[in-house]
Chains A and B, each alone.
Chain A
Amino acid sequence: MTHWIIAPIVLPAMLAPFIVLAARYHVGIQRVFSVAGVLALIGISAGLAWQVSDGSVIYYRLGDWAAPFGIVVVGDRLSTLMILLTSVLALFVLLHAIGADWDRRGRHFHALFQFQLMGILGAFLTGDLFNLFVFFEVLLIASYGLMIHAGGNARLRAGVQYVLFNLIGSTLFLFALGSIYAETGTLNMADLAQRVALIGPEETVGIRVAAVLLLLVFAIKAALVPLHFWLPSSYAEAPAPVAALFAIMTKVGAYAIIRVYTLIFPPDLDVTAGLFDLWLLPAALVSLAIGMIGVLAAQRLDRLVAYSIIGSMGMVLVSIALFTPEGIAAALYYIVHSTLAGAVLFLVVDLVRTGRGSVELTTQPPMAGTALTAGLFFLAAIAMAGLPPLSGFLGKLLVLDAAYGTDLMTWIWAIVLGSSLVSILGFARAGSVLFWKAHSVAPTEEEESTKDGDDGGDEDEPDAGAPSRLAYAATGGLLALLVAHTVFAGQVHGYTIDMAAQLFAPDSYISTVLDTPGKLSAPKEGN
């Protein structure tokens, strides 16, 4: 038995307390361990992803207890792709945070960062619903810590809303888990898949409500309108590198929806018939529209990017809600894109904030490092708005293609394309104000208008100055990944098709998890 599959959870979970215990006063040492840990995570995740790329399922029994009695973590194509994406993203975000000195602006940045990674990676790997809840808690509390890192009134206020709304989500998660356990007597996902299929048509309300509550929990994480309200202010107010890392957090919700609703509650069962199609797709379309309208409406760059995250999550959920292999494959391609694009944009927000001292979309003199920042913004905005040549465009094509011939095709096409236009307009206006209009301000007004712009509440920000090279390099590196995602779109898309195929044929997942004996394996009961 190899232990690699548990390493992505254990490694950050050991690194973080070590940093707290031994290096809590030495940011330099923390940086070394934090970066080294993330590098190791990339290596491990890549290895795992390669190992399961042939369609096999890796499986690990915690405490050697066989499923469904103990907890299992499971690695298949989907989960390993997600952990690889997370660790790669984490590296660039971490480098940017170090480059911009964010980790010195408050305490315990690196420990919280590692715990955050543990929570995210655990959520992707676990094969047990209650364990998923635990990891949701870990990532929620760690993200709250990171979000209010370095403090400031606006940030703390947004943080309270963030944590309160997500506590509602946690409570709902417990309700859903209680309901599911009451209906099925188990919490292991593979076991649930079998037991839910056993429920007859004469008694379906219980499991239906449970399934819907669970979906709503994930919808909160995935910022589906109207459960998205926690997102705009918290992402906007969070330290930008943290917000960049959060780009993967909404994907945890999307991942959970895909996982649970292909494995446990596929829509072709009696008990799930007609459960989601009435509202999930329309809600996703509304999310897409609301998000992109927010991009046009935003008066601050950080809000603008936060709204674009809602929009791109809407796009992901539209594609998931189609619930076809093509739709899921498109969604998975788009998830990778949206994570990278959202993260790059937030890092650019940080560059702008550093160079300009403010992210208000008002005319101010040219900032430090305009040309480079403008270039990065331009590319990131192209990606997010779904313009060619970057992967957003390809993802959009995939989603449109997957929606062809479905009942709501006209609506989907109209909203996807229409919201693109709105976001193009929004990004163009923002870029024009930030990078072009600045040149029309006479340099003599410089001091005065800098002061004017600063009363926006960025009280903890240092004075404007050119961002560090490391910060630029990290942002550029992430952008390079986006380019690679475009160039190798064929390979990635081919792989997401394999992934979707594996998700729609979960037999090998279920049998791997349930048929492998563990310590004191009892004879199978109940199924």
Chain B
Amino acid sequence: MSLFFIVALPFLGALLPGVMNAAGRSSCAGVTFTVSLSAFVGLLTNLPAILRGEVVKARIAWMPELGLDATFMLDGLGFFFAFLILGIGLLIIAYGRHYLSRDDNMGEFFTYLLLFQGAMVGIVLSDNILLLLVFWELTSLSSFLLIGYWKHLPEGRQGARMALTVTGMGGLAMIGGMLILGQIVGSYDLSVILQNRDLIQADPLYLPALILILLGCFTKSAQFPFHFWLPHAMAAPTPVSAYLHSATMVKAGIFLMARMWPALAGTTEWFVIVTSAGLITMVIGAVIALFKHDLKALLAFSTVSQLGLITMLLGTGTAFGAMAAMFHILNHATFKAALFMSAGIVDHEAHTRDIRRLGGLRHLMPVTFTIATIGALSIAGIPFLNGFLSKEMMLEEMTRTVMFDSPLLVPVLATIGSLFSAAYCFRFVGHTFLGPVRDDYPSKPHDPNPGMWMPPAILAVLVVVIGTAPFLAEPFVKLVTASVLGIEAEVPKSYIKIWHGLVPALYLSVIALLGGLVLMLIFNPLLRLWDAMPRPEAKTIFDAIVAASVSAARALTFTLHNGSFTRYAMIGAIAILAAGYHAWITGSVGTPTRAVQAAGPVPIAGWAMLVAASLGLVLLHRNRFLSLIFIGIVGLMVSIGFVYLSAPDLAMTQFTVEVVTIILLLLALNFLPNRTPVESTTLRRVRDASVAVASGLATFALAYHYLLRDAVGTPISEFHLANSYKGGGGTNVVNVILVDFRGFDTYGEIIVLGIAALLIFALTETLLRGPVRARLLNRVPDQPRAGDMHPMMMVVVTRVLMPVVLMVGFYIFLRGHNEPGGGFIAGLIVSIAVVMQYMASGFSWATARLRYPYHGIIGAGVLIAGFTGIGSWFVAKPFLTSDFTYVRIPPFEKFELATAALFDLGVFLAVVGAVMLSLESFSRLARRASSQDSEHPMDIDPSREEGALAPDGTKPEAG
């Protein structure tokens, strides 16, 4: 079967358990089993090629430019691991079917399990290290889901997060390492990398790459000092512990070290880091395991220790070490999975895993007892069990290993590790199964049904078979070792056998076993000593680190983002000033190309008023009405400035905009207190003032600089001046620019205006429906309202003025193309006329006479402008292409008809609609807040004398 299918099957099949969940537990487990079995069979079909020594490959391009392709290869090593993953996976699925209770969601469980299986197979078959990284992180994620499977258990959640954090961190480090490796070699393909040992090891980045990759391996395979997550992962259901956290996932790091062996191993750095980490892990794991009372915790630390042993073997960098490592992986996978499943059975039946509450189970659960004993004794290194063989090989290798110039250091430590291993195995068997039968088990245990004990039994049989007939496994182990070593070393000639003669390794084995027995005998005093000893608790440290990180993150984030806008603006302004200043000082300043013009008295007066008004605004801004007046002065001075600079269009626009803005702001002020309260300290005001002054000065300097210099090319405005009449049909260049040359900008801007009005309306609607409504209804104005709400004089004047102003607006609109004016100004003028009616005669009166809703006017305006633009499509011209012609209808003079006028009409309508809709929205708020005003104008409010601040809070009634 193609390698793609072997990898893809578990992923594709992961959907099935979820779907089949409702069909019952057996169906659910059945489909899962079938999926795994198909992949397993698919793998086996490749066995003949592997045995012939071939390497099976498959390749699909994925991201060729990056060098990340879906490339798979199957050699001895890959086959070995895939065989373990899928084979043990099958046993675990069968076991899990009986282990999970009816309350557990089995579909979810098996979905995650298959995802994990696929990811794991992917790791071992990847020929591309980036692809390997993808699968690597996927195993972390699926492991996260599986550990947290029992969502209600805090241990599960915490364990899952811890595992994800630690292995995730390693994975991220490994990304760095792999990328460096790929860059050194120039390819991310494993097969290429493995051929380039010398190139890699000579590169200055070899050490960083090695450390980063080993970080990934060590975290995944729970090597010291990252071993602490594994025991906490035991909160997962036991099938998960047996599968992920003993047989497969935790071996991924070891797999990778083996895979990378030809490229990375053999250097001093490799030897020192890997061997010492492995050695420490092995000893520490074994020691801690002895004193754990939870069966699964004991086994977890045993796994840590055993993984340390394998790591240590790989660290030696010798061919024999590699062979011993491979053999031990096989053996560990068999006995440890069997042990975990046995522990699960005990837990399942006795409802406790606490070794202190167990004992005497051999009479109650003979089958489980047999399986567990075989497994445990194999770890301890009892002859005729497979653990003995690989442990002998390990000890043999250790006797040859010299570290830090000491030939004794490694063998002694390795023996101590073995000694403790033997001890915890004896304890596991002794304290659980031996001894008298107790009568206080949480539940009366008995052997489970065969579905549950069969899977570990199969493994136990393998333990014995390999242990007694090692020659059966030997060719396979050598095949795997050959693919680990690659082209760098020869497979050792030595045979795997039980009796090697009286070699040092045998003595060490005997010492370890006897020592283990002794430790067992003095266990109780030892335990008291252990309990009395202060030990760093990894979880406490980890939790403390996480908690510290979270509070540091919170401190930073919440200090930085404290919600104060002034501070945000200040930081922004400083950043802008700094970047601008940097650009300034790193550039060169040439001589000005323009002379400074003399300032006449008029500009100086205007300038002085502008400055005075601005200063006044800053100093007196707490009085809101006053500040509005100052803003008005600033606006007026700007308008006058435009007049002075011969820009009548701009002046008119600015002027009308000022009028409308001030009216709108007055309406808004209606809802605000008269004065802005003092909220900031003097210090802060000084700070803000200095930033503001600096920004102002910078702007001034910049403007001054530009004013003294010509542009590098002719400004495009020259073209506009030259072609306004010829091309746009108008002599008012500003208007032609607005409606023709850059009509598209205007189109955008009227839309901005329209949106602004729509959003003011939408906001008002929301406010009037929400809690604000009640506040408005209960609002007591802080000043007495005018008694004469609609003064007669004003009503009369505005009504008389209305047609006049409309006419002016119409005139301004029409002359726009050639003289100062245009749709925008006309729109504002007409709006002012209508606004005056609202002000003078009241909202109700005006609204009642309103025939076209303002929404519609905005919509129509934008649509008209748009359709004018689209019109040019019909004559095969681009959007907004203008045309004009001159017609003469007697008795009128010849006059111009321009499409631009139609566009300007759109502008006009959008402006009128937008201004009026905003105003209407404000007024509606105001109406809600005060009395309902009368339909009739010229009404007098007799309640004025009581004032708005009547003590009982009653609202003044309309007359």
Is the pair B758, A112 in contact by a Cβ cutoff of 8 Å? yes
Determine whether B424 belongs to the interface, using a CB cutoff of 8 Å to chain A: no
Query: Whose C-beta in chain B lies nearest to the C-beta of A230?
Result: B568
Determine whether B535 belongs to the interface, using a CB cutoff of 8 Å to chain A: no
Is the pair B588, A168 in contact by a Cβ cutoff of 8 Å? no
Chain A, residues 192-236, CB within 8 Å of chain B (1/0): the string is 000110110111111111011101100010000011011011000
Is the pair B134, A185 in contact by a Cβ cutoff of 8 Å? no
Q: Which of A74-82, A88-96, A129-137, A349-357 binds B?
A: A129-137
Determine whether A61 belongs to the interface, using a CB cutoff of 8 Å to chain B: yes
Is the pair B879, A10 in contact by a Cβ cutoff of 8 Å? yes
Query: Whose C-beta in chain A lies nearest to the C-beta of B567?
Result: A229
Contacts of B699 in A (CB 8 A): 175
Determine whether A519 belongs to the interface, using a CB cutoff of 8 Å to chain B: yes
Query: Whose C-beta in chain A lies nearest to the C-beta of B208?
Result: A410
Contacts of A271 in B (CB 8 A): 587
Query: Whose C-beta in chain B lies nearest to the C-beta of A522?
Result: B719
Question: How far is B699's CA from A185's CA once the two chains are assembled, in angstroms?
Answer: 19
Q: Which of B345-353, B738-746, B790-798, B927-935 binds A?
A: B738-746
Is the pair A227, B715 in contact by a Cβ cutoff of 8 Å? no
CB within 8 A of B763: which of A148, A196, A388, A489?
A: A148
Question: How far is B159's CA from A138's CA once the two chains are assembled, in angstroms?
Answer: 50
Query: Whose C-beta in chain A lies nearest to the C-beta of B748?
Result: A134
Q: Which of B33-41, B59-67, B371-379, B494-502 binds A?
A: B59-67
For chain B residues 63-121, which have a beta carbon within 8 Å of chain A?
Answer: 63-66, 68
Question: How far is B867's CA from A183's CA once the two chains are assembled, in angstroms?
Answer: 37
Determine whether B890 belongs to the interface, using a CB cutoff of 8 Å to chain A: no
Question: How far is B135's CA from A206's CA once the two chains are assembled, in angstroms?
Answer: 53
Is the pair A297, B141 in contact by a Cβ cutoff of 8 Å? no
Question: How far is B144's CA from A132's CA once the two chains are assembled, in angstroms?
Answer: 47
Is the pair B713, A10 in contact by a Cβ cutoff of 8 Å? no
Using a Cβ cutoff of 8 Å, how many contacts connect chains A and B?
A: 401
- Contacts A115-B751, A131-B744, A296-B549: A152 and B765 contacting too (C-beta < 8 A)? no
CB within 8 A of B553: which of A152, A179, A183, A297?
A: A297
Contacts of A152 in B (CB 8 A): 770
Chain B, residues 173-212, CB within 8 Å of chain A (1/0): the string is 1011001100100000000000000000000000000000
Is the pair A17, B862 in contact by a Cβ cutoff of 8 Å? yes
Question: How far is B751's CA from A111's CA once the two chains are assembled, in angstroms?
Answer: 11
- Contacts A21-B863, A519-B727: A63 and B588 contacting too (C-beta < 8 A)? no
CB within 8 A of B135: which of A24, A388, A421?
A: A388
Question: How far is B61's CA from A209's CA once the two chains are assembled, in angstroms?
Answer: 46
Is the pair A439, B705 in contact by a Cβ cutoff of 8 Å? no
CB within 8 A of A307: which of B153, B557, B590, B714?
A: B557
CB within 8 A of B759: which of A144, A215, A229, A293?
A: A144
Interface centre among A3, A179, A436 (most CB of B within 10 A): A436
Determine whether B51 belongs to the interface, using a CB cutoff of 8 Å to chain A: no
Q: Which of B271-279, B674-682, B851-859 binds A?
A: B851-859
Contacts of B571 in A (CB 8 A): 226, 229
Determine whether A467 belongs to the interface, using a CB cutoff of 8 Å to chain B: no
Chain A, residues 319-342, CB within 8 Å of chain B (1/0): the string is 000000000010000000000000
CB within 8 A of A18: which of B135, B140, B742, B859?
A: B859
Is the pair B553, A422 in contact by a Cβ cutoff of 8 Å? yes
Determine whether B609 belongs to the interface, using a CB cutoff of 8 Å to chain A: no
Determine whether A106 belongs to the interface, using a CB cutoff of 8 Å to chain B: yes
Chain A, residues 422-439, CB within 8 Å of chain B (1/0): the string is 101100110010011111
Interface centre among B130, B580, B740 (most CB of A within 10 A): B580
Determine whether A13 belongs to the interface, using a CB cutoff of 8 Å to chain B: yes
- Contacts A175-B702, A226-B572, A387-B137: A63 and B744 contacting too (C-beta < 8 A)? yes
Is the pair B765, A186 in contact by a Cβ cutoff of 8 Å? no
Is the pair B179, A164 in contact by a Cβ cutoff of 8 Å? no
CB within 8 A of B580: which of A61, A150, A212, A520?
A: A212
Contacts of A172 in B (CB 8 A): 576
Contacts of B872 in A (CB 8 A): 64
Determine whether B451 belongs to the interface, using a CB cutoff of 8 Å to chain A: no
Contacts of A165 in B (CB 8 A): 565, 568-569, 572
Question: How far is B762's CA from A186's CA once the two chains are assembled, in angstroms?
Answer: 39
Contacts of B173 in A (CB 8 A): 417
- Contacts A107-B762, A413-B176, A493-B63: A424 and B168 contacting too (C-beta < 8 A)? yes
* Whole-angstrom distance between the Cβ of B555 and the nearest chain A Cβ: 8
Determine whether A462 belongs to the interface, using a CB cutoff of 8 Å to chain B: no
Contacts of B611 in A (CB 8 A): none
- Contacts A17-B859, A63-B881, A165-B569: A388 and B706 contacting too (C-beta < 8 A)? no
Is the pair A417, B141 in contact by a Cβ cutoff of 8 Å? no
* Whole-angstrom distance between the Cβ of A512 and the nearest chain B Cβ: 15
Determine whether A460 belongs to the interface, using a CB cutoff of 8 Å to chain B: yes
For chain A residues 145-204, which have a beta carbon within 8 Å of chain B?
Answer: 145, 148-152, 156, 160-161, 164-165, 168, 172, 175, 178-179, 181-188, 191, 195-196, 198-199, 201-204
Is the pair B748, A64 in contact by a Cβ cutoff of 8 Å? no
Determine whether A238 belongs to the interface, using a CB cutoff of 8 Å to chain B: no
* Whole-angstrom distance between the Cβ of B14 and the nearest chain A Cβ: 12
Is the pair B157, A436 in contact by a Cβ cutoff of 8 Å? yes
Is the pair A141, B755 in contact by a Cβ cutoff of 8 Å? yes
Is the pair B175, A227 in contact by a Cβ cutoff of 8 Å? no
Determine whether B558 belongs to the interface, using a CB cutoff of 8 Å to chain A: yes
Is the pair A181, B711 in contact by a Cβ cutoff of 8 Å? yes
Determine whether B805 belongs to the interface, using a CB cutoff of 8 Å to chain A: no
- Contacts A69-B720, A142-B755, A494-B65: A198 and B712 contacting too (C-beta < 8 A)? yes
Question: How far is B584's CA from A212's CA once the two chains are assembled, in angstroms?
Answer: 10
- Contacts A6-B878, A10-B879, A13-B862: A183 and B712 contacting too (C-beta < 8 A)? yes
Question: How far is B855's CA from A394's CA once the two chains are assembled, in angstroms?
Answer: 48
Contacts of A107 in B (CB 8 A): 758, 761-762, 765-766
CB within 8 A of B856: which of A21, A135, A396, A417?
A: A21
Question: How far is B154's CA from A439's CA once the two chains are assembled, in angstroms?
Answer: 10
Determine whether B554 belongs to the interface, using a CB cutoff of 8 Å to chain A: yes
Query: Whose C-beta in chain A lies nearest to the C-beta of B746?
Result: A134
- Contacts A3-B878, A20-B859, A201-B588: A131 and B748 contacting too (C-beta < 8 A)? yes
CB within 8 A of A417: which of B145, B172, B563, B573?
A: B172
Determine whether A456 belongs to the interface, using a CB cutoff of 8 Å to chain B: no
Interface centre among B160, B711, B712 (most CB of A within 10 A): B712
Q: Which of A251-259, A272-280, A445-453, A471-479 binds B?
A: A272-280
Query: Whose C-beta in chain A lies nearest to the C-beta of B759?
Result: A145
Chain A, residues 499-525, CB within 8 Å of chain B (1/0): the string is 000000000000000000001101001
- Contacts A185-B711, A202-B590: A296 and B66 contacting too (C-beta < 8 A)? no
Query: Whose C-beta in chain A lies nearest to the C-beta of B585?
Result: A205
Question: How far is B69's CA from A141's CA once the two chains are assembled, in angstroms?
Answer: 45
Is the pair B588, A1 in contact by a Cβ cutoff of 8 Å? no
Contacts of A108 in B (CB 8 A): 758-759, 761-762
Contacts of B172 in A (CB 8 A): 417-418, 420-421
Determine whether B709 belongs to the interface, using a CB cutoff of 8 Å to chain A: yes
Determine whether A465 belongs to the interface, using a CB cutoff of 8 Å to chain B: no
Contacts of B448 in A (CB 8 A): none
Determine whether A404 belongs to the interface, using a CB cutoff of 8 Å to chain B: yes
Question: How far is B563's CA from A239's CA once the two chains are assembled, in angstroms?
Answer: 19
Can you list the 4 inter-chain pairs with the closest CB atoms, starting with the nearest? A526-B713, A21-B859, A203-B590, A185-B711
Given A13-B862, A198-B712, 6 new contacts (CB under 8 A):
A65-B741, A185-B714, A298-B557, A388-B137, A436-B151, A440-B153
Taking Cβ atoms with an 8 Å cutoff, the residues of A that contact B are 1, 3, 6, 10, 13-14, 16-22, 24, 60-65, 68-71, 106-108, 111-112, 115, 118, 122, 130-131, 134-135, 137-138, 141-142, 144-145, 148-152, 156, 160-161, 164-165, 168, 172, 175, 178-179, 181-188, 191, 195-196, 198-199, 201-209, 211-213, 215-216, 220, 226-227, 229-230, 232-233, 271, 274-275, 278-279, 290, 293-294, 296-299, 307, 329, 378, 382, 387-389, 393-394, 396-398, 400-401, 404-405, 413, 417-418, 420-422, 424-425, 428-429, 432, 435-440, 459-460, 489-490, 493-494, 497, 519-520, 522, 525-527
